[in-house]
Structure 1
Amino acid sequence: MPSLKGKNIIITGASGGIGAEIARLCAARGANLVLLARSIDKLEILKKELQSKYAINIHARQLDVSDPEAVKKVFFEVLSDIRYADILVNNAGFGIFDFAHEVKTEEIKSMFDVNVIGLIACTSMVLPGMKQRGSGHIINIASQAGKIATPKSSVYSATKHAVLGYTNSLRMEVADDHIFVTSVNPGPIATNFFTIADKQGTYVKSVKRFMLKPEYVAKQVVDRMMTKTREINLPRWMSAGSIFYTLFPRTFELFGKNFFNKK
């Protein structure tokens, strides 16, 4: 594993879940951090926790990535302070599970604004510096939902398909600039994500035994920082399912329908 000591790492959605766990692991390895999220109170608590343990520089800034002007302002200020970013982890995102005909227009817009447009906006702010320096790593937290579309997640799946499309194209664009681009495609993770996504709790009940621990996912991400890793797919059996889905979509949908309809 390449050393992260002294690296400048920006993490969106850092106030909880895998974002906060990634921050903890990076801090333990000596990286300097920029923590971004809508909840500044939670960020300040995390910042205080990490500064009490590690001699690193930490910036905590409030940011709603769905606001393009706020993204420009905050990133301009941050980059003025730290000069450059070695790694950007685009972790901010959310989902709402609903049938396609029931999902509200404002919810559709919000999911695309955060999951797709916000991710692209944040990436655009660090890319010029990375290209100039000939070094960097963009890590986009996508989802297995971007590979396997399921009932009641049509819009969420669409946003993650978009993230994968953007990530794959970007990887080829910046390869000659020695910038690594990685997509992280986890299955369900035991975080507060489902407080919003699965309001009735039916999906959580059906997949609880399969849920990944945020600490485990975070470690898989941090271990591959500054390496030429194309994708991180978790868990492995679900990754195998996405390959089967690509090869035999009708068969997969036929036999997987009952399981996926548990949402």
Structure 2
Amino acid sequence: MTSQGTALVTGASSGIGAEFARRLAARGHDVVLVARSAPALEALADEVRRDHGVRAEVLVQDLSAPDAATRVAEEVAARGLTVDLLVNNAGFGTAGHFARIAPEREHRELMVNVVALVGLTHAFVPGMLARGAGGVINVGSTAGFNITPYFATYGSSKTFVLNFSLALWSELRGSGVKVLAVTPGPVETAFFDRIGTRKAAIGAKMTTSDQVVTSALRAFDRDRGYVAPGRGALMMAHLMPRRPRKLMALIGRRVTRPVADELTPSLAR
């Protein structure tokens, strides 16, 4: 199979990131797998080498570190690689009463969800522009379309991902470099285990990593700018943002408060 270039996937140790790696390898991309878990990455690298005959590099990096993007870019260069497709999938969420969530956890969340994402995009897009080809896929959430009480930091980080991606999509049109924001609703991954409760799905129907990646790659091929995989996500993307913002903030508070009360009892009594 002729190589389709190299794709770098963050958060590749499981879930959506691992599925992106498999599907891109099946398309003929060599892959660079980035996450904190070396054993999971090595197992996935062995799998895609065996199944698809591509080059698979493992790069262990905590993306919450201040210099994470620089370290990744330097290691990629040291291995003689050129990134043709960047998949910024790594991210995690926090939920609960804002005043009771550990500040250091939310700091790490923003470093991964926002700072590392922008840093890696800065690191690799200039080269893509110089070559006149390439792409960036940023994994956001339907939370990015809405005001999210009790998910304040997480939802706001995903609003940044959506707006940042669409701004770059517009800015880079005609350059040969495509940008896509992927905005799924709840996905059957370990995301909710890390938050601490599956109630954080707010009763929405779960989709799968396979469904998300299928929708994402189809939309990327068509240069859609953003995609909301699944019927429920599509409704959230196109209907909810058109409601009055303060009203949606109040409705959102009622919907998400049970999650917060389970995870972090309120200081306000």
Q: Which runs of 5+ in 2 are unaligned?
A: 260-269
The 1-side partners of 2:256 and 2:162 are apart by 21
Return 5+ residue gaps in structure 1 as ranges. Answer: none
Q: Is the CA contact (8 Å cut-off) linking 2:215 and 2:229 kept in structure 1?
A: no
The reply to whether residue 45 of structure 1 matches residue 40 of structure 2 is no
Distance 1:251 1:74, change over 3 A: closer
Percent identity of equivalent pairs:
31
- 1:240 match: 235
| Residues 165-204 of structure 1 mapped to structure 2, 5 A cutoff | 165-197=163-195, 199-204=196-201
Contact 2:179 2:220 in 1 (8 A): no
Task: Supply the distance in 2 between the matched residues of 1:89 and 1:211 (Cα, whole angstroms).
Answer: 22
Q: Which letter maps to 2:208?
A: K
Report the TM-score when normalising by structure 1: 0.89
- Structure 1 contact 21–218 (Cα < 8 Å) conserved: yes
In structure 1, the partner of 2:265 is none
The aligned counterpart of 1:122 is 120
Matches within 5 A, 1:5-16: 5-16=3-14
Is 1:220 matched up with 2:218?
A: no
Relative to structure 1, the CA distance from residue 4 to residue 240 in structure 2 (aligned partners, 3 Å threshold; closer, same or farther) is: farther
Contact between 2:142 and 2:236, CA under 8 Å: does it hold in 1? no
> Which range is displaced more, 70-79 or 214-223?
70-79
Q: Which amino acid aligns with 2:37?
A: S
- After TM superposition, where is structure 1 displaced by more than 6 Å over at least 4 residues in a row? none
Give the partner amino acid of 2:63.
V
Aligned pair 1:157/2:155, yes or no?
Answer: yes
RMSD (Å) for aligned C-alpha atoms: 2.2
TM-score (norm 2): 0.87
Asked if the contact 2:148–2:252 (Cα under 8 Å) also holds between the matched residues in 1, the reply is no
How many angstroms does 1:219 deviate by?
Answer: 1.7
CA-CA distance at 1:24 after TM superposition: 1.0
Point out the more displaced range, 180-189 or 209-218: 209-218
Offset of 1:36 from its aligned partner?
A: 0.5
Structure 2 CA distance for aligned equivalents of residues 222 and 258 of structure 1: 35
Shift of 1:164: 1.8
Instruction: For 1:106, give the aligned amino acid.
Output: E
Residues 4 and 29, structure 1, Cα contact 8 Å, conserved in 2: no
For 1:4 and 1:136, locate their aligned partners in 2 and report how far apart those are by CA, in whole Å: 17
